[in-house]
Each structure stands twice: as structure tokens, then as C-alpha cells.
């Protein structure tokens, strides 16, 4: 099984390596019940082949996939959706009411991502295509879906984005959170395992994110999955919640302290880099900072946007 793309997370839950950027950076989750499959998150377009390989490895046909839950519109989570639609003939695509229009016609998400990623866009995403609108269904907070009798309940905590989906799988005692809780990918060197917040444009809302982590922890699920990347166990959740909340407070401070600078975005970028290098590789003279360049660009842009809106309102 050296070439496996799967990690068995128990209770019919499988973590699939999405193949985005590097190993253990972004996962898609499969939930399997009685030969029927639900997929949580659709990653980037290139993840289609990974999901195809995962289904084959589990001896499941693409026709067995009944649901695809699209966690939110950021392209590293929605970019694969249209490609999955072509691969999975029976799947219903479930998303937040605010996401449906853009899932069917992703042009605005593509343009926004090209603005952010510039010359890297093609390498990261390539061709992004829409999901046929007749296959898209929206779901409000609290809506439940049955997968072979297994209940999957949608939750919509904001903070990372206004169109965020989490999915509570009571049978597996697992809540899938995508980017709704926080960010903990494997990083090179002796990086510390600490939660980070990626305040990606354009809907970062620290006060809502603060509530979201409380809400997710309050579910008392045995495990929560995060898209970047893996599972958090209940025993570590209080510490993880504290890490996210500390990070949110730090970001608000960065926004406040850079508001009067000549170039707030440059100042936020500088503060964030310094903060993450110290947090992730404390005391290292030559930390592999290039591994977080993309995170810094994305988080700084989103925080600067929040600063502009929030500080203008204040």
C-alpha cells in the first residue's frame, strides 16, 4: 500500500491526500456507510484523480457517491467541485445558500483567486469548471442528510468565510470543519504543532471565528477533522481552541497597530511573518520560512481587507 492516498480514520471515515502543494497539506474526507459514500470538501481540480484512486482503493464505484459537501468557496476547497461532478454521476452537490451561484458559475471566484495568486494561479488551479446548477442543493444550518441511514448534519459557523460548511457525523462522533476551525498542516523542519488562523480574503471575521471554535468544541465530538490537515482528538481541543483564540487576538492587534502605517499591508505582512517564524520555529536561526510564504500572502491580504472595513467603521 505504499502508493495509498488513504488514511483510515475509523468509523467509515477516510482521509484522502489531495495532492495540493505538498503531502499532508490538504485533505478530502470520505464517509462510507453500507457501500454508499459522502465526500466532504472538493479541494483543487487536481484532487479529482486522488479521489478517483481513493474510491478504487476502497473498491467503490464513482456511482456510489451520493453526496458531495462543498465546505466553502475558496478555490483550494471548491476548485475540484466541477471536476467531481463529471466523475460522480449520482452525487448531489450540497453547499451554503450563499455559495450556490458561484459553484455553478465560478468566474468571480476564479478572478478573485487570479488577483491573489497572480502568476502562480495556473500552476495551483489550472482549469476550474462549474457544477451543473440542477445538481446543486443548498442547506441551512442544522439540516440533516441520510447516508444509508447515517445522519450527517450541516453546521454553518462563520469567521473564516460567510459560506462555510461543517459536517457533524454522529455515527463516527466526528465533526468535519474544513477551514472553519483552524489550520495545522505538516510543516518542514522542527515546526511546532500549533494552530494558526488563515484570515484569507474576503470574509475574515475574527469575532465570528472566536464563536465558531467555541461552537465546534461545544459539540463534544470525539474528533474534529481539519482540511489542513488531519484529525484533532477531543482531549487536545481545549488547547487547540486556546491557540486559535490567541491567534485571532494577535491578528486584531496587528490590524490595530498597523492602521496608521504608510503601507498597512506591508506592515501586516512583516508582523505576521515575524510572528509565525517565532511561533513555528522558535530559536531556529534559519527557519524554512518559504514554506509559509503562501499562507502569509493570503492571511495578510485578508487581514488588511478586514482592517480597512473594520477600522473605517469604527
Binding site for Zn ion (CB under 5 A): 74, 179
Closer by beta carbon to Zn ion, 9 or else 74? 74
Residue 135 in grid coordinates: 445538481
Alpha carbon 68 to chain centroid distance? Answer: 15
Closer by beta carbon to Zn ion, 179 or else 267? 179
CB of 26 to Zn ion, least distance (A): 10
Per-residue DSSP letters for 196-258? B----TT---HHHHHHHHHHHHHT--SEEEETTTEEEEGGGHHHHHHHHHHHHHHHHHHHHHH
How do 92-95 and 65-69 pair as beta strands? parallel
Closer by beta carbon to Zn ion, 36 or else 74? 74
Closer by beta carbon to Zn ion, 34 or else 115? 115
CB of 236 to Zn ion, least distance (A): 22
CB of 44 to Zn ion, least distance (A): 12
CB of 42 to Zn ion, least distance (A): 12
Residue 75's alpha-carbon distances to 43, 46, 80, 108, in angstroms, are 7, 12, 8, 11
CB of 179 to Zn ion, least distance (A): 4
Closer by beta carbon to Zn ion, 73 or else 94? 73
Closer by beta carbon to Zn ion, 94 or else 198? 198
Select the residue whose beta carbon is closest to Zn ion and give its number. 74
CB of 285 to Zn ion, least distance (A): 32
The answer to whether 43 and 76 have CB atoms below 8 angstroms apart is: yes
First to last CA, the chain: 56
Nearest of 275, 312, 307, 309 to residue 292 by alpha carbon: 275
Amino acid at each position: 500500500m505504499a502508493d495509498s492516498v488513504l488514511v483510515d480514520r475509523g468509523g467509515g471515515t477516510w482521509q484522502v491526500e489531495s495532492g495540493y502543494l505538498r503531502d499532508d497539506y490538504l485533505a478530502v474526507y470520505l464517509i462510507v456507510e453500507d457501500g454508499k459514500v459522502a465526500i466532504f470538501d472538493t479541494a483543487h481540480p487536481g484532487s479529482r484523480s486522488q479521489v478517483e484512486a481513493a474510491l478504487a482503493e476502497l473498491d467503490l464505484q464513482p456511482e456510489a457517491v451520493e453526496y458531495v459537501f462543498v465546505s466553502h468557496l475558496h478555490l483550494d476547497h471548491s476548485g475540484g467541485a466541477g471536476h467531481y461532478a463529471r466523475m460522480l454521476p449520482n452525487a448531489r452537490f450540497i453547499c451554503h445558500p450563499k455559495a450556490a451561484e458561484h459553484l455553478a458559475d465560478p468566474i468571480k471566484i476564479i478572478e478573485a483567486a487570479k488577483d491573489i495568486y497572480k502568476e502562480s494561479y495556473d500552476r495551483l488551479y489550472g482549469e476550474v469548471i462549474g457544477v451543473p446548477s440542477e445538481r446543486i442543493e443548498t442547506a441551512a444550518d442544522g439540516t440533516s442528510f441520510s447516508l444509508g441511514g447515517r445522519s450527517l448534519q450541516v453546521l454553518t459557523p462563520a469567521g473564516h468565510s460567510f459560506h462555510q460548511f461543517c459536517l457533524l457525523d454522529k455515527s463516527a462522533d466526528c465533526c468535519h470543519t474544513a477551514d472553519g476551525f483552524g489550520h495545522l498542516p505538516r510543516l518542514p523542519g522542527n515546526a511546532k504543532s500549533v494552530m494558526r488562523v488563515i484570515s484569507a480574503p474576503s470574509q475574515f471575521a475574527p469575532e465570528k471565528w472566536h464563536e465558531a471554535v467555541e461552537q465546534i468544541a461545544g459539540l463534544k465530538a470525539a474528533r474534529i477533522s481539519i482540511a489542513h490537515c488531519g484529525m484533532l482528538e477531543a482531549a487536545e481541543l481545549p488547547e487547540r481552541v486556546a491557540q486559535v483564540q490567541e491567534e485571532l487576538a494577535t491578528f486584531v492587534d496587528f490590524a490595530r497597530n498597523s492602521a496608521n502605517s504608510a503601507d498597512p499591508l506591508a506592515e501586516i505582512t512583516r508582523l505576521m511573518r515575524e510572528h509565525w517564524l517565532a511561533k513555528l520555529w522558535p530559536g531556529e536561526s534559519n527557519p524554512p520560512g518559504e514554506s509559509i510564504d503562501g499562507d502569509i500572502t493570503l492571511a495578510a491580504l485578508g487581514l488588511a481587507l478586514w482592517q480597512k472595513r473594520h477600522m473605517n467603521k469604527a
